[in-house]
């Protein structure tokens, strides 16, 4: 832990120097430019806003976000904003990805379900933190692209499926944690059922294209469900039969 924090602060110092010395908002070409932009993103958007979990921070520092966005948005990949990924969908704002990951409190031996693969970025962030990630995407083209991208980038413990995530992935349930990255009108009962006792689910709940509540659902050791609104967010809608 101490080692990770030392490393992080070393990286953040480099990022701070870059922020002072470079007036540009577009990363310099090449991997070093992207690494520096990523360090700046983590410091200014994530650590400053209160994310403290060192494993989450480490993962946000290591995943090359610019490889998860369409080419025309590469220069904006580390900006404090969601970005279009095609088919009317978005890759979420970096801070929201970090916050939702942190609040799940996942462990190295956990199995996690994600609903809403999109670009595959959130799944890649989870990949380093847990044993296995199952992720479901309803748009076939996005599911295929994300599966190829994750394979090419060597995220070996992520399985992508094209289907309606409202119904979860019962063959691999129960899950230690579930993350839903599209806004649902209500909390899907199949997902609650597929959550392990002692598990946590984070899900935006509310109407399409309105401000929604980000809800933390906890299932305690005897199966009792509690919910808590943790912040207001704006996500694309959960589509599908329901």
Q: Rule CB under 6 A: is residue 240 a binding residue for ligand SAM?
A: yes
CA distance 155 to 123: 9
Which listed residue (11, 106, 113, 138) binds ligand SAM by CB under 6 A? 138
Q: Work out which of 119, 127, 194, 212 binds ligand SAM, going by CB under 6 A.
A: 119
204: contact with ligand SAM by CB under 6 A:
no
Of all residues in the chain, what percent are helix, strand and coil, respectively (each to 5)?
40, 25, 35
Nearer to ligand SAM, 15 or 83 (CB): 83
Spatial distance between the Cα atoms of 226 and 228, rounded to a whole number of angstroms: 7
Q: Distances from the Cα of 112 to the Cαs of 13, 24, 102, 220, in angstroms?
A: 33, 38, 13, 17
In angstroms, the CA 113 to CA 122 distance is 11
* Catalytic annotation, pick one of 40, 59, 92, 127: 92
Supply the minimum distance, in Å, between the C-beta of residue 123 and ligand SAM.
Answer: 7
Residues whose CB is less than 8 angstroms from the CB of residue 35 and which lie 6 or more positions away in sequence, other chains included: none
Q: Does 99 bind ligand SAM (CB under 6 A)?
A: no
- Smallest separation (angstroms) from ligand SAM to the CB of 171: 16
Counting contacts by CB under 6 A, is residue 90 touching ligand SAM?
A: yes
Question: Which parts of 58-110 are beta strand (E)?
Answer: 83-86, 89-91
Active site residue 208: no
Residues 156-175 that bind ligand SAM (CB under 6 A): 164-166
Q: Which residues are catalytic?
A: 92
The binding site for ligand SAM (CB under 6 A) comprises 89-92, 115-116, 118-119, 121-122, 136-139, 142, 164-166, 181-182, 235-236, 238-240
């Amino acid at each position: 832990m101490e080692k990770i924090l030392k490393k992080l602060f070393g990286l953040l110092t480099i990022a701070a120097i870059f922020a002072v010395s470079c007036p540009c908002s577009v990363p310099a070409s090449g991997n070093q430019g992207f690494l520096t932009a990523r360090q700046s993103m983590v410091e200014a958007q994530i650590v400053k806003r209160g994310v403290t979990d060192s494993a989450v921070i480490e993962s946000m520092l290591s995943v090359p976000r610019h490889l998860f966005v369409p080419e025309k948005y590469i220069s904006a990949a580390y900006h404090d904003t969601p970005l279009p990924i095609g088919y009317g969908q978005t890759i979420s704002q970096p801070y929201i990805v970090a916050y939702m990951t942190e609040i799940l409190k996942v462990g190295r031996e956990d199995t996690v379900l994600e609903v809403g693969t999109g670009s595959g970025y959130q799944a890649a962030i989870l990949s380093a933190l847990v044993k296995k990630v199952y992720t479901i995407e309803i748009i076939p083209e996005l599911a295929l692209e994300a599966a190829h991208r994750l394979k090419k980038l060597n995220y070996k413990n992520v399985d992508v499926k094209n289907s309606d995530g409202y119904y979860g992935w019962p063959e691999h349930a129960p899950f230690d944690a579930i993350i839903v990255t599209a806004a649902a009108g209500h909390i899907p009962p199949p997902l609650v059922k597929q959550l392990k006792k002692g598990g946590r689910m984070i899900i935006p709940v509310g109407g399409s294209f309105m401000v929604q509540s980000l809800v933390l659902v906890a299932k305690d050791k005897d199966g009792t469900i509690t919910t808590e609104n943790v912040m207001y967010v704006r996500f694309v809608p959960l589509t599908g039969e329901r």
